[in-house]
Structure 1
């Protein structure tokens, strides 16, 4: 018989068994941070049916945009070119929103249909088949 090295005499075989409560798992608790509900949100609100009776106040939207621009100007982490870019981006997005709100979906569809009817037959799908 071949004698095996003595370093392998103390090998424990089988699965690892943890006795007692040496390792206890902590349950992850969700910590809810109380947020004040009266916090002012500076979103431009889309008009709804309830708001249709009220007058639109463009000066409020202008104030919101002015506040956003002021925040960008006061941000110390941005360079002057980044500030100019963000300001232009804010103005462009507000103009897009205003133009999108001017036209209803039905008006957009009618405009699209008239545009399609004015196109020549050259752009129509050609008929495939005999005759």
Structure 2
């Protein structure tokens, strides 16, 4: 009986869990300020480079970059010279896909849930017995 007299309390301890986890170091506001200063310096350098090249559209782009932080995808494409890097066939394919998606949404919006359930039941009734689930076991 004396062997069972001592009952330790608390949760179970697992191997290797005795070490305490290190806390993540929080970043101070001075670190954030340094990072924002570096970004501003890079933006000013880009602005100087575009002004040196004499591009009037480059100044507009750097103004947009300064406002937004980084150029958007559309602006980069415009700068590179081409609006899109897709072929005509790819554009047509995407347009037809978009039209079909819109048509499906319109069709789904026309029908109520009850009508959709009735359509599904009618379709299942028209299928052959081959698609029925077989009965397994007695009964």
TM-score normalised by structure 2 residue count: 0.35
Larger helix share, 1 or 2:
2
Greater relative contact order (Cα 8 A, min sep 6): structure 1 or 2? 1
